[in-house]
Amino acid sequence: MRNSPDLSVQLAPRHPEGLILSNPVMISSGIAGYGEEYAEITDIQKLGAIVCKGTALKPREGNPQPRLVETAGGLLNSIGWENIGVDALIKEKAPVWARWSVPVIVNVAGETIDDYVAVANKLEGVTGISGIELNISCPNVSSGGMEFGVDPQLAARVTLEVKAATTLPVIVKLSPNVADIKEIALAVEGAGADAISLINTLKGMAIDINKSKPCLGNIVGGLSGPAIKPVALYMVFEAAKVVRIPLIGCGGIACAEDALEFIMAGATAVQIGTACLTTPDICLTILNGIELFLREKGIGSITDIVGAARYKS
Ligand SMILES: Cc1cc2nc3c(=O)[nH]c(=O)nc-3n(C[C@H](O)[C@H](O)[C@H](O)COP(=O)(O)O)c2cc1C
């Protein structure tokens, strides 16, 4: 029997304290709320990290129903910003997280740069929070609703200002709804991001032909699940060509083989989203599958295969 492979990964090598995860499997934002209910159905302490629901300065109810529609190989959601607000998160959730060994990363949403900065300021020094993930797929009110994540300058500004407001590691989560993901990745790296997660959902819609109207109350939603995996994988592969900071691959991952593809494309870690909704313990199955793969191939560390597919054609 071979020795156990080293599954630990460093997500923030240029941060003074770093952000080391015991393994590369994370649960993505919006899937397990704030983690407590999820903790009752799976052993979340075994995961690399948990990313909580997108949290804003004030509580919000989110978009009108219906907010979920199944599509071929995917899921359309228009949950919007339903969240308890950062003050309640600090009061009610962080004390629970402080008792957990699994690191919790807070996904932050905002409509202005000041919103993001205000949330980051409030999270400063709060026990139980290991990092911030900036959701820059949010519409920016001061630029007429254009997403922060589609403009390299806006993406860089929000990253720079949040980095200046926090001592926590900052992961910037990229939107796939852009012409060139490399441009945005480079911009946020240049602005000081510690890591990049990608991708958020792809914009999409569905129509109910019997009612002749859009299925989602919000008309447009975000597509996730297996349907987006090849797109997400390509974007990780592309971003890995230009940035040096760690990438966290996300989009349609549903088994260990999928996760390994992302790692070989250049991701240091992976986030699992939609697959957890149908198979709650999928993250642990994926983790076990990654470990088995490394063992069978005699690979000593997960980091040995990060980007492995980039050097072959
Ligand atoms: C129901 C639902 C809610 C989501 N909420 C958020 C959110 O609050 N913040 C965020 O950055 N991403 C959010 N996402 C995007 C996921 O974190 C992930 O990036 C995306 O679904 C792609 O991964 P998947 O195909 O594994 O689901 C949400 C996705 C779903 C399906």
User: pLDDT tens digits for 171-189?
Assistant: 999 999 999 999 999 999 9
Distance in Å, CA 274 to ligand 1 centroid: 7
| Percent of the chain topping pLDDT 90 | 92
The pLDDT-based confidence of 142 (bands split at 50, 70, 90) is confident
- Please spell the DSSP secondary structure of 74-116, one letter per residue: EEEE---S-B--HHHIIIIIHHHHTT-SS-EEEEE--SSHHHH
Looking at 138, 215, 250, 276, which residue is catalytic? 138
Token duo for residue 171: 């992961």
Q: Is 52 a catalytic residue?
A: no
Distance in Å, CA 33 to ligand 1 centroid: 11
Residues having CB within 6 Å of any atom of ligand 1: 28-30, 53-54, 75, 77, 79, 107, 135, 173, 200-201, 224-225, 228, 250-253, 272-275
Task: Tell me if 301 sits within 8 A of 5, measured CB to CB.
Answer: yes
Residue 48 makes CB contacts below 8 A (sequence gap 6+) with 9, 21, 22, 23, 24, 25, 26, 102, 103, 269, 287
Residue nearest atom 8 of ligand 1, based on CA coordinates: 54
Helix axis angle, 229-242 to 181-190, nearest 10°: 50
CA distances from 22 to 11, 88, 103, 191, 264 (A): 11, 28, 9, 27, 19
pLDDT tens digits for 3-56?
A: 799 999 999 999 999 999 999 999 999 999 999 999 999 999 999 999 999 999
Residue 1 makes CB contacts below 8 A (sequence gap 6+) with none
Residue nearest atom 31 of ligand 1, based on CA coordinates: 274
Burial class (CB in 10 A: 0-12, 13-18, 19+), 74: buried
Distance in Å, CA 296 to ligand 1 centroid: 32
